[in-house]
Amino acid sequence: MTRRKMIVSGGLGFLGSEIAKNFFQEFDITIIDNLSTNVLTIDDLARICGEISYKNMDLANMSEEDKIWLNTELKDTTIFCHFAAAVGVKKIDQSPRDAIINENKINHDLLQLLAKFKTRLIFASSSEVYGNQEDCKEEQSLQIGSPDTLRWGYACNKLMTEFLIKSHEIPHIILRLFNVTGPGQSPEYGMVIPKMVRDAKRDGRIQIFGDGKQTRAFCHVKDLISAMKYLINEDRFDNQTINIGNDKNRVTIEELATQIKLTLDKSIKIEKIPFNHEYSKNSKDILKRSPNIEKLKSFYTPKVTLQEIIKDIVQGCDE
């Protein structure tokens, strides 16, 4: 019996590589990555997954040869997991123009090919599309900020991709991800828990912005993978949008820093600094963001607690 085939864009990044690790026994996996923000090499991944195909390719700047290759690959691809994107608030703040332009360039060619072959698409959107809101529901109106703050270009790009997927009539599931994290996630681009853990261990201090009352809800990557296994193997949520997060892990940034401090060392200092000491005027802090996951809970309830997430990341940092 011929095995199903899955392509994962951004497959050497944190989320993409987790997909490969967890689905290689069910699918023949092909990885696409341009190595701009990878956390693994293809050799690292192959040691876990065994035989795996890899294409070093920038989807935003495909050559004619690249397009021919992708056109051929998609003919027998069952699922395309589209997880290639700019990573982290810091990365977007450093190059907002590149993030905006590249996302548009990726969609121009890729979505046309997916539509041509009617390839089933799992797209990693973002909770950023909700703006500053709590109890965010998939069907509600969105509140993206002013274009004078270029950070919102990332949210607009994700939302435009959602529109394009639907306008191309590509069979799909759109995942709006709320602070998915875990061991192996890089601290380099402002990922909150990995950065706090690294800074605490390296410098003996954790920096938080403003008064630390900003709220987030953190979700372990294991819970994302468990939800994806259901979504991929069932057809109940085809052509729908689903929030992926953990509403039980809602916490202020100050509370999060305190939990990390107590997990590592009570002598660690927590420092409050202005947001724009670290980020440019192109960025703006999000004051509140948490998911409504009633749709997710109709088939899967996230299981990993915030304390377990912190301990898992701390242990991963020690390895």
Q: Regarding the domain delimited by 185-217+248-288+304-318, which CATH topology (the fold level of the hierarchy) does it fall under?
A: UDP-galactose 4-epimerase; domain 1 (3.90.25)
All structural domains of the chain with their residue ranges: 4-180+219-246, 185-217+248-288+304-318
pLDDT in tens, 148-197: 777 788 888 899 999 999 999 999 999 999 999 999 998 887 689 999 99
Helix (H, G, I), strand (E, B) or coil at 196: helix
The tokens describing 224, both together, are 């994302």
> Treating both helix axes as pointing N-terminal to C-terminal, what angle do 306-318 and 253-264 enclose, rounded to 10 degrees?
50
Q: By the 8 A CB rule, do 190 and 87 touch?
A: no
- Work out the mean pLDDT of the chain and round it to a whole number: 90
Q: What is the dihedral of CA 72, 73, 74, 79, to 10 degrees?
A: 170
Nearest residue to 92 via CA among 103, 82, 107 = 103
Q: By the 8 A CB rule, do 21 and 222 touch?
A: no
DSSP string, 89-124: HHHHHH-HHHHHHHHHHHHHHHHHHHHHHT-EEEEE
Phi, psi of 197 (to 5 degrees): -65, -45
Answering whether pTM is above 0.75, one says: yes
Which residue would you say has higher pLDDT here, 100 or 214?
214
The CATH class given to the 4-180+219-246 domain equals alpha beta
pLDDT in tens, 264-281: 988 999 999 876 666 556
Q: By the 8 A CB rule, do 161 and 123 touch?
A: yes
Residue whose token pair is 């395309």: 80
278 CB-contact burial (10 Å; exposed 0-12 / middle 13-18 / buried 19+): middle
Helices first, then strands: H and E counts in the chain: 11, 15
Distance CA 29, CA 192 (A): 30
Residue whose token pair is 């046309």: 112
Q: Comparing 4-180+219-246 with 185-217+248-288+304-318, is the CATH topology the same?
A: no
pLDDT in tens, 217-246: 999 999 999 999 999 999 889 999 999 999
In this predicted structure, what is the pLDDT of residue 222?
A: 98
Q: By the 8 A CB rule, do 88 and 179 touch?
A: no
Q: By the 8 A CB rule, do 6 and 27 touch?
A: yes
Q: By the 8 A CB rule, do 214 and 285 touch?
A: yes
